[in-house]
Chain A
């Protein structure tokens, strides 16, 4: 079982959350080239290591949050504490 540290609810079973994939900045629609849009929409880094990703706490606080997980060990780095606003920016 993977315990995901929700910033509002605390550690929760990953089955209670929805995985939102890699977290990366959306390009500026006014200036982004087609190549940048394609990269944003379809390309993923998929590293065997640390990755910043988004989660949705669907059975708890119903909030999106972002955190860093090691995809090889399922370890979370510097997870947000309950009430910590850092996790709010997914």
Chain B
């Protein structure tokens, strides 16, 4: 794996923060991200053990998202993600696997707190109730007209959603989420934090 470049968040403007504790928006774009594509019923898929629409915490610590049929997103610390990627090597026969480093190409935000579903409902047409999107659910949908991958990743019992979009839309989606959350007393943490750092900001 190549040395990590110095990360610059796509979010350069922020807004005053409330202090209600019911909703927090964190820029976690600095999280290491990889995109893996493979045949959705091949050996690589069996190795990842994460069907479309679900997520799994790998023993290495990386979060594996089944973002689309035959497509996975790996999130987490550099070493943890690297171990998952290395485990995919060696499927040369019968499966074609591609793994692309995505850290600088995708923005990622964490929306957390008890008001998070209500804030997301304002910019996304999906049903964010527990039966439809339980903890671990992964989906793709339009957020403020931008196609995003969304994963529910509760932290210590607090509702939490990861929203990933193309880097070029990062500032726009960040602003749209702030607009959606303003009425819920949103707290904003625009720091370009890593994955573990953003988990610490929840709750």
Interface residues of A (CB under 8 A from B): 8-9, 12-13, 15-16, 58-63, 82
Contacts and interface: CB of A to CB of B under 8 A. Distances in A.
A13 to B, nearest CB: 5
Interface in B52-74: 52-53, 68-69
Nearest to B140: A60
Given A15-B142, A59-B142, A62-B140, 8 more contacts: A8-B69, A9-B140, A16-B125, A60-B68, A60-B141, A61-B68, A61-B69, A62-B68
B125 A61 contact: no
B50 interface: no
Contacts of A13: 125
Contacts of B53: 8, 82
Given A13-B125, A16-B141, A58 B147 contact: yes
Contact of A16 (B52, B69, B142): B142
Interface of B: 52-53, 68-69, 125, 139-142, 147
A4 to B, nearest CB: 12
20 contacts: A8-B52, A8-B53, A9-B139, A12-B125, A12-B141, A13-B125, A15-B142, A16-B125, A16-B141, A16-B142, A58-B147, A59-B141, A59-B142, A60-B68, A60-B139, A60-B140, A60-B141, A61-B140, A62-B68, A63-B69
